[in-house]
Amino acid sequence: MLLEFTNKGIYCPQADVYIDPWRTVDKAIITHAHSDHARWGMKHYLCHEKSKAILHHRLGKEINVETKKYNEPFTINGVGFSLHPAGHVIGSSQIRVEHKGEVWVVSGDYKTECDGISDAFEPVKCNTFITECTFGLPIYNWHPQIDVFNEMIRWIKQNEADKINSVIFAYALGKAQRIIQNIYPYVEELYTHGAIENTNKILRESETNIAPTILINKESDLKKIKGKVIIAPPSAQDTPWLRKLEPYKTALASGWMTLRGARRRRNIDKGFVISDHADWNGLNSAIKNTGCETVIATHGYTEIFSKWLRQIGYRAIAEKTQYEGETADISNEIA
């Protein structure tokens, strides 16, 4: 087997390297900088150049990071590797692994729609495709993001007219910047929570273009923040920091907002269905475009999704990993 599932992560024995391992190893190739894929303690990290700054920010200045560009081939112990855009967040990569004519691709997390900030997903031909399936059910079908952002802007404008702040909860790396880039032409000022602003700062320093944002801190004149847009991480809900910004309405941008129950349980006023993961059609088309014979489903609705793939003619199995697709608490996962 070119790649194996071990208790430390996805392992290539021939190259002696792990992909997104969850326990300490010597060599790790990292698909993207989210914390369930990029963990602390590896002796050597390899990732896309746009992931480097965030990796250092999250895992420490002292870690040893090597970077590659997309489509730049490299060899480890005779095994060929290359990184290809996954379209999930800035710097996110699919990992292509080739040995003796056999090709495997590890998708990491991905989405097929171009979000205007991450490099767009690129289908890579392979024999075996290791796919996520966070939203691997046919009830998950995203609308084009332009429609969702139009809806978001309408909501913001209504709140603006009512002199109510619009608080949008989004994951600090990826979703937050995607929202900022897509709504800033339509709003005067964009305010941020510290967690979001930190990520913005690092991305700006590594020459990613992020629209100007204003950090809310102790010095901020809260009286001026009325009818404005505030981007905050979901953990800011029900905190004193947020209560100072009353009156406000809250929204959560997540694929999980598809279901009414998920939104109502979180006590959120408005749900925007916008995800950095592929929806049902995205997953199916991505798999088809790889031309693969075998699919290994890693996180999400793995059992159901692989059963479906078998029914339409693939060799498909589900593997257990520690990526947070099948998380118990969907409210913590901002997919």
299 near 10, Cβ under 8 Å?
no
CA distance 287 to 88: 16
Nearest approach, Cβ of 122 to other proteins (angstroms)? 26
DSSP string, 254-316: -GGGGSHHHHHHHT-SEEE---SS--HHHHHHHHHHHT-SEEEEEEESHHHHHHHHHHTT-EE
Nearest approach, Cβ of 317 to other proteins (angstroms)? 17
Question: How many residues form the binding site for other proteins (CB under 8 A)?
Answer: 25
Residue ranges in 134-173 that form contacts with other proteins under rule CB under 8 A: 137-141
55 near 28, Cβ under 8 Å?
no
Task: Tell me, residue by residue from 290 to 329, as one string, x for binding to other proteins by CB under 8 A and - for no binding.
Answer: -----------x--x--xx--x--------------x-xx
Nearest approach, Cβ of 164 to other proteins (angstroms)? 12
Nearest approach, Cβ of 256 to other proteins (angstroms)? 8
Nearest approach, Cβ of 16 to other proteins (angstroms)? 31
Which is nearer to other proteins, 207 or 238 (by Cβ)?
Answer: 238
Dihedral sign from CA coordinates of 229, 231, 236, 240: negative
Which is nearer to other proteins, 85 or 136 (by Cβ)?
Answer: 136
Residue ranges in 203-262 that form contacts with other proteins under rule CB under 8 A: 258-262
Environment class of 68 (CB within 10 Å of its CB; exposed 0-12, middle 13-18, buried 19+): middle
Structure-token pair, residue 102: 């056999």
100 near 60, Cβ under 8 Å?
no
Which is nearer to other proteins, 139 or 161 (by Cβ)?
Answer: 139
- 98 membership: H or E segment, kind and range: strand 93-99
Which is nearer to other proteins, 77 or 141 (by Cβ)?
Answer: 141
Selected from 42, 230, 330, 334, the binder of other proteins by CB under 8 A is 330
Which is nearer to other proteins, 104 or 140 (by Cβ)?
Answer: 140
Which is nearer to other proteins, 77 or 235 (by Cβ)?
Answer: 235
Helical residues (DSSP H) of the chain, grouped into ranges:
52-59, 145-161, 175-183, 194-205, 240-243, 260-266, 280-290, 302-311
175 near 274, Cβ under 8 Å?
yes
Selected from 269, 294, 314, 317, the binder of other proteins by CB under 8 A is 269
Q: Contact residues for other proteins (CB under 8 A)? A: 137-141, 258-262, 264-265, 267, 269-270, 301, 304, 307-308, 311, 326, 328-331
